Chains A and B, each alone.
Chain A
Amino acid sequence: MAKYKGNRIAPKNFDRGQIKIYIILLPLVLFMLLPIVFIVCHAFKPMEELFAFPPRFIVSNPTLDNFKTLFKSARTAAIPLSTYVFNSLIVTLIVVGVGVIISTMAGYALSKLKFKLRGVIFEINQAALMFVPAAVMIPRFLIINGLGITNTYWAHILPLLAMPVSLFLIKQFIDGVPDTLIEAAVVDGATQFMVYRKIIIPLIKPAIATGVILSFQQVWGYLDSSNLYVSTDSMKTLAFYMTTLANANNIVAGQGVAAAASLIMFIPNLVLFIILQKDVMNTMAHSGIK
């Protein structure tokens, strides 16, 4: 009988058996990583390196020229860059903030309160995990028209607030909060709202962090609203402006600016994930669909 050497998952120490895993992973990791390294390098390439033939992958004399050009072209445009930044910040803050509040509230009700439709509502939300917004862009357009919110911030905000995957993960996480804590508080005279605010919210920080990340990823790069629901240029978002920069000129010089623009869109996502990754992994442990 083989001697049990301990679980191979999440080992504490390095052993030789892991070398083959590294060897198998190497080409795949390179395939995933190189495009990212490339776009970062490209954004910092000076003009002569962008025009170099044959093109070089790695930047040798990094400069901020592309970013400067980007800000300059924004300054000469009819609408200053700050308008787009402002629009995006407002929209992102509201979507992330309100989105998390409504998901945690709904998650609390679905997890801890007993009522008739609980099972059905949770099932419906679970089915909506596979909802693909692109499939209903026409009806959404008609609804936004019907509500009379075209050309307002509402058109950026409202369609993104209800996020089934966020509610699902938060609800699953709240399931892990012991009922006894809530019962004790209720015995002491706490209302359901106080329980939600004083017990649930502090205990589900990881799930909230995950909700924040998922909702941020969605709203920060969201283009549909600027493309379809908002026609006034000064009401559009940074993501939209960055995409127009990326599309405007396909010539090589414009590529540097496009790469700079795409970094500006990508980096906040990455940084937020790095900061919150522990919480996200903690929440994901409850992600199973039964």
Chain B
Amino acid sequence: MKTNKATPYIFLLPYAVLFIVFIIVPIIIAIGLSFTNYDALQTPGFVGVLNYINLFTRDSIFMQYVLPNTVVYSLIVGPGGYILAFLLAWAIAQLTRIPRTILALILYSPSLTAGTAMQVLWKIIFSGDRMGYVNAYLIEWGLINEPIVFFVSANYMLPIMILVGLWSSMGVGFLGMLAGIMNANDELYEAGAIDGIKNRMQELIYITIPTMKPQMLFGAVMAIVNTFNNGGIGVQLSGSNPTPGYAGQVIVNHIEDYGFIRFEMGYAAAVSVALLLIIFLFSKVANKLFVEKD
């Protein structure tokens, strides 16, 4: 096929420009700023790796609350939500068409609430007075006498965030994995039956998972993104940044706190770079697990 050499680039140009300006350049700027003391007013001065040294040695809030919270939240909601999404996709794939479609819709809809609806919903359910639904039921059942102020108490903030995170984790990755399972090749299953596969569990392990590794990787990447994008829910629920007692503070909130509240943008940029590295690490692990080397 004869193609003008410039044609492909013309097709790519609009997307590429926006991609570079709003995705690539911000990452480069974040890395650049992280070596400066930029405060949004004066010209940034180069400070070397000082921000990183401060991050790991002087920022006790970061080491004591933000990093552990982020690690706990993302390790539970990331892999947990992912495994849940896969198992649910697999389970509903075994059902007939109409119930399958309805259940897929129910499972997917929480991820559609991201933003306002998610915030309002869980705020009302966990409201910290007697009128709060969880409190009212716990009191009625005689489990507690006094209402628990959920969003102020250090003990409850993180578990609630994890609950909300898991609740909303059936997103695009879930749909991708469901489609992957549905696309199963009938012959493979037949061959499996001849080779002595007896039940659903064996089918899952020996046929389904190996044939849909690419979808599993897509699901994993989406789970990672989802986890870090929704991680800031603590601030939305408690209505303040920082969250009370830093109980629900994760890296995303820490960036906002330093960047837009304290205007220590150089330092906030260093925190951003740390976050990007953590996300990169997660996806490396996902790649190791699901990419077939052949």
Interfacial residues, chain A to chain B (CB-CB below 8 A): 1-5, 7-14, 17-18, 21-22, 24-25, 28-29, 31-33, 35-36, 38-39, 42, 51, 53-55, 57, 101-103, 105-106, 108-110, 113-115, 118, 121, 125, 128-143, 158-159, 161-162, 164-165, 167, 182-183, 186, 192, 196, 214, 217, 221-223, 228, 239, 242-243, 246-247, 250, 252, 255, 258-259, 261-263, 265-266, 269-270, 273-274, 277, 280-282, 284-285, 287-290
In the assembled complex, the Cα of A7 lies from the Cα of B197 at a distance in Å of: 12
- State the Cβ distance, B18 to closest chain A Cβ, in Å: 4
Cβ of A121: which chain B residues have Cβ within 8 Å of it? 12, 16
Tell me if B11 and A9 are in contact (CB < 8 A).
no
In the assembled complex, the Cα of A165 lies from the Cα of B176 at a distance in Å of: 12
The listed residue (B15, B100, B101) touching A105 by CB distance below 8 A is B15
- State the Cβ distance, A153 to closest chain B Cβ, in Å: 15
Tell me if A242 and B116 are in contact (CB < 8 A).
yes
Q: Is B269 an interface residue (CB 8 A)?
A: yes
- State the Cβ distance, A72 to closest chain B Cβ, in Å: 19
The 7 closest A-B pairs by CB, nearest first: A288-B214, A221-B115, A284-B179, A139-B26, A139-B29, A262-B117, A109-B11
The listed residue (A21, A141, A217, A289) touching B91 by CB distance below 8 A is A21
Tell me if B15 and A274 are in contact (CB < 8 A).
no
B1-36 CB contact bits vs A (8 Å, 1 = yes)? 111110111011011101101110111111001000
The listed residue (A21, A165, A282) touching B172 by CB distance below 8 A is A165
Tell me if A32 and B106 are in contact (CB < 8 A).
yes
Of A109, A139, A221, chain B has the most CB atoms within 10 Å of the CB of A139
Tell me if B94 and A21 are in contact (CB < 8 A).
yes
Tell me if B11 and A280 are in contact (CB < 8 A).
no
- State the Cβ distance, B89 to closest chain A Cβ, in Å: 10
A-B contact list, 19 entries, CB within 8 Å: A8-B189, A13-B96, A25-B103, A38-B124, A39-B113, A106-B14, A130-B221, A134-B228, A136-B23, A139-B272, A158-B22, A222-B115, A250-B127, A259-B120, A259-B121, A261-B116, A266-B112, A287-B179, A288-B217
Q: Is B154 an interface residue (CB 8 A)?
A: no
Q: Is B239 an interface residue (CB 8 A)?
A: yes
Tell me if B133 and A57 are in contact (CB < 8 A).
yes
Tell me if B103 and A29 are in contact (CB < 8 A).
yes
When C-beta atoms are compared, the residue in chain A nearest to B175 turns out to be: A284
The listed residue (A14, A110, A129, A217) touching B96 by CB distance below 8 A is A14
Q: A288-B214, A289-B221 are in contact. Are A131 and B228 (CB under 8 A)?
A: no
When C-beta atoms are compared, the residue in chain A nearest to B103 turns out to be: A29
Interface residues on B, range: 35 or more
Q: A21-B95, A246-B119, A288-B218 are in contact. Are A9 and B182 (CB under 8 A)?
A: yes
In the assembled complex, the Cα of A105 lies from the Cα of B7 at a distance in Å of: 11
Tell me if B113 and A36 are in contact (CB < 8 A).
yes
In the assembled complex, the Cα of A159 lies from the Cα of B91 at a distance in Å of: 38
Cβ of A42: which chain B residues have Cβ within 8 Å of it? 124
The listed residue (B14, B170, B194) touching A4 by CB distance below 8 A is B194
Q: A24-B91, A137-B256, A280-B175 are in contact. Are A192 and B11 (CB under 8 A)?
A: yes
Q: Is B66 an interface residue (CB 8 A)?
A: no
Q: A131-B23, A134-B252 are in contact. Are A113 and B11 (CB under 8 A)?
A: yes
- State the Cβ distance, A130 to closest chain B Cβ, in Å: 5
Cβ of B91: which chain A residues have Cβ within 8 Å of it? 21, 24-25
Tell me if A132 and B229 are in contact (CB < 8 A).
yes
Interfacial residues, chain B to chain A (CB-CB below 8 A): 1-5, 7-9, 11-12, 14-16, 18-19, 21-23, 25-30, 33, 84, 88, 91-97, 100-101, 103-110, 112-117, 119-125, 127, 130-131, 133, 136-137, 139-140, 167, 170, 172, 175-176, 178-184, 186, 189-190, 193-194, 196-198, 200, 203, 208, 212-215, 217-218, 221-222, 224-225, 228-229, 231-232, 239, 252, 255-256, 259-260, 265, 268-269, 272, 275-276, 279-280, 282-283, 290-291
The listed residue (A133, A183, A289) touching B217 by CB distance below 8 A is A289
- State the Cβ distance, B280 to closest chain A Cβ, in Å: 8
- State the Cβ distance, B268 to closest chain A Cβ, in Å: 6
Cβ of B117: which chain A residues have Cβ within 8 Å of it? 39, 262-263, 265-266
Cβ of B97: which chain A residues have Cβ within 8 Å of it? 10, 12
- State the Cβ distance, A105 to closest chain B Cβ, in Å: 5
Q: A135-B252, A137-B256, A262-B121 are in contact. Are A106 and B115 (CB under 8 A)?
A: no
Tell me if A9 and B96 are in contact (CB < 8 A).
no
Cβ of B110: which chain A residues have Cβ within 8 Å of it? 32, 35-36
Tell me if B189 and A9 are in contact (CB < 8 A).
yes
Tell me if A132 and B228 are in contact (CB < 8 A).
yes
Tell me if A105 and B26 are in contact (CB < 8 A).
no
Of B18, B170, B178, B194, chain A has the most CB atoms within 10 Å of the CB of B18
Cβ of A282: which chain B residues have Cβ within 8 Å of it? 179
- State the Cβ distance, B12 to closest chain A Cβ, in Å: 5
Cβ of B282: which chain A residues have Cβ within 8 Å of it? 130
